[in-house]
Amino acid sequence: MINYKNKQRPEKDMIFGIRAVIEAIQAGKEIDKILMRRDMTSELSRELFAALNGLPVPVQYVPIEKLNKMTVKNHQGAIAFISPVVYQRIEDIIPGIYEEGRMPFIVVLDGVTDVRNFGAIARTCECAGVDAIVIPTKGGASINADAVKTSAGALLSIPVCREANLGNALKFIQSSGIKLVAASEKATENYTQVAMSEPIALVMGSEDEGVSPDYLRLCDKMVSIPMLGKIDSLNVSVAAGVLIYEAVRQRGVVESLIG
């Protein structure tokens, strides 16, 4: 069980040493991220890089002091963090949804780095029946104890797809007959004016930057949430909740009409 009271991950959630990390990768362990000492040039470190080749596992290069603070054990310049979830592939998720006769409902997070925001969004997604959350390998929040706790355990039940190339993932989603709808302050359409009762993927960006311009260009629609006060933006988890439940509302209306 994850120790939610401890801000730092318990040592049982970490793997120390280059050879141990390599063996964990080869054994198919789900790795959240790897911290490595800067300027690693040993033969063993090259073996680690070879083992990571093609895998969507983020590697962060840090000073040796940071690794020493995390553990007193002989880490050899490498610490891997075990993910509490098993990441899935969006290419496997979407066909299964269609086979069940349902309309896909996906949420894509571009640059949401705060684990509490991420956890709160995941909780809303699970409550609203979202089929999957798509996140980037780099530039996104880690799924750690804080994220799982904030999600009220939702991250342990909703599929999370970690993609090395978010642009390619968006293109695949779009080619699967799913409309990409991005939240953006630049949008001219109110979120209630855009049809969300069809297969849809909501794309949410970071509070600082919003959705990347490259990804905005891929989207079919951009929507905004009216700001009536002096503050010009919502917290991303709140904005996601507003849009997710607008989609739920519209889908409920369509289902009642069909029924």
- Judge if 54 and 173 occupy the same domain: no
pLDDT over threshold 50, residue 2 = no
Residue 34 bridge partners (DSSP): 59, 80
Rounded distance, CA 258 to CA 252, Å? 10
For residues 93 and 131, the answer to whether their CB atoms sit within 8 Å is yes
Residue 113 lies in a domain: yes
Q: How confident is the model at residue 11 (pLDDT cuts 50, 70, 90)?
A: low
Average pLDDT, the chain: 89
pLDDT over threshold 70, residue 57 = yes
Residue 1 lies in a domain: no
Rounded distance, CA 108 to CA 69, Å? 34
For 99-148, the pLDDT digits (tens) are: 999 999 999 999 999 999 999 999 999 999 999 999 998 888 888 888 89
- Judge if 74 and 108 occupy the same domain: no
113 vs 5, residue with greater confidence: 113
Rounded distance, CA 114 to CA 13, Å? 20
Per-residue confidence (pLDDT) for residue 44, from 0 to 100: 86
- Judge if 166 and 232 occupy the same domain: yes
Which of 22-26, 32-36, 42-46 bottoms out in mean pLDDT, i.e. has the lowest?
A: 42-46
- Judge if 105 and 201 occupy the same domain: yes
Per-residue confidence (pLDDT) for residue 254, from 0 to 100: 52
Mean pLDDT value across residues 210-233: 93
For residues 138 and 111, the answer to whether their CB atoms sit within 8 Å is no
Residue 136 bridge partners (DSSP): 163
What's the whole-model pTM score? Answer: 0.83
User: What are the CB-based long-range contacts (under 8 Å, 24+) for 250-257?
Assistant: 250/195, 250/196, 250/197, 251/103, 251/105, 251/196, 251/197, 253/197, 254/197
Per-residue confidence (pLDDT) for residue 259, from 0 to 100: 52
Tell me the CATH number at 50: 3.30.1330.30
Cβ atoms within 10 Å, residue 152: 14
Range of the domain at 151: 90-258
* Spatial CA neighbour of 200 closest among 251, 256, 253, 161: 251
* Spatial CA neighbour of 172 closest among 143, 132, 209: 132
Per-residue confidence (pLDDT) for residue 84, from 0 to 100: 87
Beta strands per DSSP E along the chain = 14-16, 31-37, 59-62, 78-82, 105-110, 132-136, 160-163, 179-183, 189-190, 200-205, 221-224
For residues 51 and 25, the answer to whether their CB atoms sit within 8 Å is yes
Rounded distance, CA 210 to CA 175, Å? 24
Per-residue confidence (pLDDT) for residue 170, from 0 to 100: 98
- Judge if 189 and 238 occupy the same domain: yes
* Listed residues 48, 82, 116: the one ending a domain: 82
For 163-191, the pLDDT digits (tens) are: 989 999 999 999 999 999 999 988 999 99
- Judge if 42 and 114 occupy the same domain: no
Q: How confident is the model at residue 4 (pLDDT cuts 50, 70, 90)?
A: very low
pLDDT over threshold 80, residue 253 = no
Tell me the CATH number at 193: 3.40.1280.10
Per-residue confidence (pLDDT) for residue 1, from 0 to 100: 32
How many domains does one find in the chain? Answer: 2
Mean pLDDT value across residues 51-55: 87
Residue 4 lies in a domain: no
- Judge if 62 and 137 occupy the same domain: no
